[in-house]
Chains A and B, each alone.
Chain A
Amino acid sequence: MMKTWQAGKRLLPMTAALGLILAGCGREDLSVLRPQGPAAESSFALMKLSISIMIVVLLVVFSIAAYVWIRFRRKPDQNEIPKQVEGSFKLEVLWTVIPLILVVVLAVPTVKAVFAAGNDHSDDKDAIKVKVTGHQYWWEFEYTDYGVTTAQDLVIPAGKDIAFELSTKDVLHSFWVPSLSGKMDTNPDGTVNRFSFSAPNEGVYRGKCAELCGPSHGFMEFKVKSVSSTAFEEWLASMKAPDSVLPDDPALAETFKSQCLTCHATGSMQDLSQAPNLTGIGSRESVAGILLNDDTRVDGAPVEENLKTWLHDPQSVKPGNKMPDPKDLGLSDEEIDGIAEFLAGYTLD
């Protein structure tokens, strides 16, 4: 055991150096290499350890290979037969035992971390419980303790443990916020997967679906918004407060009610879970998960414009999604624009 510890100690400076190099890779709100929470950090620590060990192994293999290729290259005048060596018991034992030690060095913290990650927070009174349901191709978030349901934007209080219950309404999906935690599948067979993570720093993190789930698998994105606990309380309150909000124009309100609210829910309506809950959609980070509501960045557009893009042709934004084309429902271009405008203004206080 002494030996393994020493091997570990020698790897430490390398691990640190690697950490520095890798930390330069990717966006802070997305990259596995720039962890923003304890769950992702635990994975990252194991990654650094394993990469360090593996780089040592690679260096040894590469240097022996380079040495033999140069040193034992056949020379033009070389004709004598080289000694036919049968093998070497000592050497072979050596390269059996060393990998075994390296495996132990990696296996011990792995097993530790596996059981740590398996810790279930569903009974934790302090944890925020969120039921995540995957749909082709959007995410539903239900805050079971508060009776609040939303979609696409997962709002969480910074620093608090969030206890997730994962399931799916249709095919397999996988819930993944790279910079906060590893992924977990959503299974349709009634077995609910549980795991938890927390985000100590306030900010918006990008989440993805990691399991092939149909044509728009690549577009099944979502955002995790980590906010202060007061902001979180306010958000909960405003999610619970409003009655169903409708467009001012009575004709448009009727259209909205008869065409949109048959699948979607708003405000205090009972959630139907066939389609994303629309409460406060104007203040979300994105439309449909991929049209980013931010005109300050090159890839984002204002929310109203995004809503228009989406409503005028949902299939071209997210192929294979279940939303009917509003034009097929008999909505005119003006009505679609009107609803987009209304939804863009449908914000939370």
Chain B
Amino acid sequence: MDWITTVDHKKIAILYLWAGGIFFGIGGLEAILIRIQLIKPMNTFLDAQTFNELITMHGTTMIFLGVMPVIFALMNAVIPLQIGARDVAFPFLNALGFWTFLFGGILLNLSWVMGGAPDAGWTAYTPLSSTGYSPTHGVDFYTIGLQIAGLGTLIGGINFLATIITMRAPGMSFMRMPMFAWTTFITSAIILFAFPAITVGLVLLTFDRILDANFFNVAGGGNPVLWQHIFWIFGHPEVYILILPAFGVISEVIPTFSRKRLFGYSSMVFATILIAFLGFMVWAHHMFTTGLGPVANALFSVSTMLIAVPTGIKIFNWLFTMWGGQVRFTTPNLFAAGFIPTFTMGGVTGVMLASAPADFQFHDTYFVVAHFHYVIVGGLVLGLFAGLHYWWPKMFGRMLSETLGKWTFWTFIIGFHLTFFVQHFLGLMGMQRRVFTYLPNQQFDLLNLVSTIGAMLMGVGMLIFLTNIFLTSRRPADAADDPWEDGRTLEWTIPSPPPEYNFKQTPLVRGLDAFWKEKMAGHKAMTPSEPVGSIHMPSATILPFLMSVGIFIAGLGFMFSRDEFSSSIMSFLFNNYIVTALGLLITFGSMLMRSLFDDPGWHIEPEELEGR
């Protein structure tokens, strides 16, 4: 009950971590099944339909339900601490964001047991995703599930924007903000601009499918290429929503374990903003072969290549942060070290893809599969591993085992390169993506086998990580406030795990890397910016949970509103939108409760603070 009603950002972080972790596991299992099917030519382990459902669900799950929530987990756990705040700006909304994500995710995955998962690819290109070619409810689960989950992301993004703009500790100007806070800020801004596009797209596709609208239906005057534009205007910035937080994590981990401040801080900030800006300008590079014509292809080629410049700035700044430092290879830094060359490899293939005439060959082949897995797994997932190992003691008060951590790193990264490096060559040798099997004697056989073995090894790495978590959770919570000893930012000034009010007294920030600055001045703790006083806390509430349950029910009701059921009661309930109305009633009723009953929250008094 405590977990269902919590509005504490640290607990919500843990909820995000668990839920995201479970979805990540599901997505990982789907990946393993996909790789087993492709282990040899003309394999019959899976049938074609199941394979298409698996690739669709693998992509959708990993992007929306696997890595994004883990990113949100880190943001929730760290951002208020890093900027010296007692919580996020809107704790109630924060909880609401989590629950809508969770129920959206559950709805999407229910498709496996409720008559067919979506099968049109995670990009759901029309007309393949229309009812004409995808007659099961699969794509409905996709549109409505993602809509609900996307609501949570948008709420979370707005919340972080408000938090970072308004709740920084005294003295923390924007240019003294830790890099992870910066990338969270920019990521949230991208979410704010990119998610409305997919929201609109999903609404249009839902209308096409459930209400027989004609937005993408050629016969009714619609345009399927329109979907591609809408999808990628969201979809490309989405890549930066994913990778920028990883950049932030790396920018925290490397300085800590090099005992040096981040090289070129201001150029890092500038590069982040530039990447976000350019990220919105390049969506059509996913559509070079759609037939947009040479002018569009040339413009989008060049603008895409330009992203290499700010990204290059970042890579070299990280390398020169270590230059002249004292580099310690703890598990988090090992992952950060693995990140740099791996992500660079994903970046350079990105530049290669940007060259439209070459992309005519790369597009929709395993070369692309290799490229984006180098960016998303080799960049983002390695970044998340670095961040999780780095902040685990702060979140849970326990140090993860270094030995197991190193085993995780080596099995995972070796498995990763085995899996995806060879896929570059598969693509160039003519293997298109999303094929459920392939004919023998095309010289695809050996490389596919290697790739599958690599995927198994990555799975082993994940199992070691889970073992590490399990074993660690059984040990006493005895992590120091500053367990890595060279912590530079505010989260390391308070106990691990932090008390629910975070800071007894809001700290005074006197420069970049506030804690490090105090340490160098010979202080053991931050100078407070306020006297010890009564701390206002928001009350726990079940309303966010109920609102999400309501939307979930309404979504299901809407989806099945036209189905014939064997029982007449069911038909009556669904076909008359009674289920939909009931769900919406729960949601709007909860909103009404929230509006009518003023909840002043509660206070922690100074005596209590001293008592602990």
Interface residues of A in 82-126 (CB under 8 A from B): 82-88, 91-92, 95-96, 98-100, 102-103, 106-107, 110-111, 113-118
A107–B47 touching, CB < 8 Å: no
Find A208's partner among B47, B128, B313, B430 (CB 8 Å cutoff): B430
Q: What is the size, in residues, of chain A's interface with B at 8 Å between Cβ atoms?
A: 97
Name, among A58, A75, A103, A166, the residue most crowded by chain B CB atoms within 10 Å (CB to CB). Answer: A103
**B355 contacts across to A, CB distance below 8 A:** 46-47, 50, 106, 110, 113
Contact partners of A113 in chain B: CB under 8 A: 355-357
Chain A residues with CB under 8 Å of chain B are 22, 25-27, 30-33, 40, 42-44, 46-47, 50-51, 53-54, 57-58, 61-62, 64-65, 68-69, 72-75, 78, 81-88, 91-92, 95-96, 98-100, 102-103, 106-107, 110-111, 113-118, 166, 170-172, 174, 176, 178-179, 181-185, 187-191, 193, 206, 208-218, 221, 290, 292, 297-299, 319-320
A87–B435 alpha-carbon span in the complex (Å): 48
Distance in Å from the Cβ of B468 to the closest Cβ of chain A?
24
Question: How near does chain A come to B217, taking the closest CB pair, in angstroms?
Answer: 10
**A85: chain B residues within 8 A (beta carbon):** 260-261, 263, 320, 324
How far in angstroms is the closest Cβ of chain B from A320?
A: 7
B301 CB, min distance to chain A CBs, angstroms: 5
Bound together, the chains give a CA A343 to CA B52 distance in angstroms of 33
**In-complex Cβ contact of B309 among A100, A118, A212, A319 (8 A):** A100
Contacts of B224 in A (CB 8 A): 172, 187-189
The answer to whether B308 touches A31 (Cβ under 8 A) is no
Q: Is there a chain A Cβ closer than 8 Å to B436's Cβ?
A: yes
Q: Are B344 and A57 in contact (CB under 8 A)?
A: yes
Contact (Cβ within 8 A) B267 A92: yes
Q: Which residues of A contact B49 (CB under 8 A)?
A: 215, 319-320
Closest Cβ–Cβ distance, residue B40 to chain A (whole Å): 13
Q: List 27 A-B contacts (CB under 8 A).
A: A32-B427, A50-B351, A54-B351, A73-B326, A73-B327, A73-B329, A83-B260, A85-B261, A87-B267, A91-B320, A96-B313, A102-B308, A106-B351, A114-B301, A116-B357, A172-B224, A181-B360, A182-B363, A184-B291, A185-B291, A187-B224, A188-B224, A209-B432, A218-B435, A218-B436, A298-B441, A299-B440
- Cβ-defined partner of B301 (8 Å) among A72, A110, A185, A299: A110
CA distance A115 to B306 in the complex (A): 20
In the bound assembly, the distance between CA atoms of A86 and B324 in angstroms comes to 12
Residues of A with C-beta under 8 A to B520: 81
Residues of B26-60 contacting chain A, CB below 8 A: 47-49, 52
The 8 A CB mask of B348-377 against A (1 = contact, 0 = none) is 110110111111110111000000000000
Q: Are A25 and B428 neighbours in the complex by a CB distance under 8 Å?
A: yes
* A92 adjacent to B309 (CB under 8 Å): no
Chain B window 237-271, contacts with chain A (Cβ cutoff 8 Å), 1 for yes, 0 for no = 00000000000000000000011110111110000
Q: B48 near A176 (CB under 8 angstroms)? A: no
**11 additional A-B residue pairs with CB within 8 Å, beyond A86-B261, A187-B291, A214-B133:** A31-B429, A81-B520, A82-B258, A82-B324, A91-B320, A114-B297, A182-B357, A189-B218, A221-B439, A292-B439, A319-B49
Judge whether B352 and A47 touch: CB under 8 Å.
yes
Assembly CA distance A214 to B293 (angstroms)? 27
Question: How far in angstroms is the closest Cβ of chain A from B98?
Answer: 32
| Residue B298 CB within 8 A of the other chain | yes
Return chain A residues, CB-CB under 8 Å to B133.
170-171, 214
The docked-state distance in angstroms from the alpha carbon of A189 to that of B335 is 47
Say whether B425 faces chain A, with CB atoms less than 8 Å apart. yes
Q: Nearest residue in A to B318 (C-beta to C-beta)?
A: A65
Interface centre among A111, A187, A190 (most CB of B within 10 A): A111
Known interface pairs A182-B357, A193-B291; A69-B364 also in contact (CB < 8 Å): no
A85 to chain B, nearest CB (A): 6
Interface pair A212/B121, CB less than 8 Å apart: yes
- A107 contacts B305, C-beta separation under 8 Å: yes
Q: How far is the CB of B120 from chain A (nearest CB, A)?
A: 7
Is B533 among interface residues, defined by CB-CB distance under 8 A? no
| Residue B302 interfacial (CB < 8 Å) | yes
Distance A33 CA – B436 CA, assembled complex (angstroms) = 24
Given A78-B326, A99-B308, A118-B293: A171 and B127 interface contact (C-beta under 8 Å): yes
Q: Are A217 and B356 in contact (CB under 8 A)?
A: no
Contact B352 A43, beta carbon cutoff 8 Å: no
Nearest 4 A/B pairs, CB to CB: A182-B360, A218-B435, A118-B294, A26-B429
Residue of B nearest to A194 (CB): B291
**From residue A228, how far is it (CB to closest CB) to chain B in Å?**
25
Residue of A nearest to B41 (CB): A299
Given A68-B323, A74-B328, A171-B128, also A185-B439 (CB < 8 A): no
CA distance A114 to B432 in the complex (A): 22
Q: Are B441 and A87 in contact (CB under 8 A)?
A: no
- B223 engages A189 (CB within 8 Å): yes
Shortest Cβ gap from A39 to chain B (Å)? 8
Using A40-B361, A96-B309, A319-B48 as known contacts, say yes or no to A87 and B263 having CB atoms under 8 A apart.
yes
Nearest opposing residue in chain A for B49, CB measure:
A215
Docked Cα-Cα span, A92 to B225, in Å, equals 41
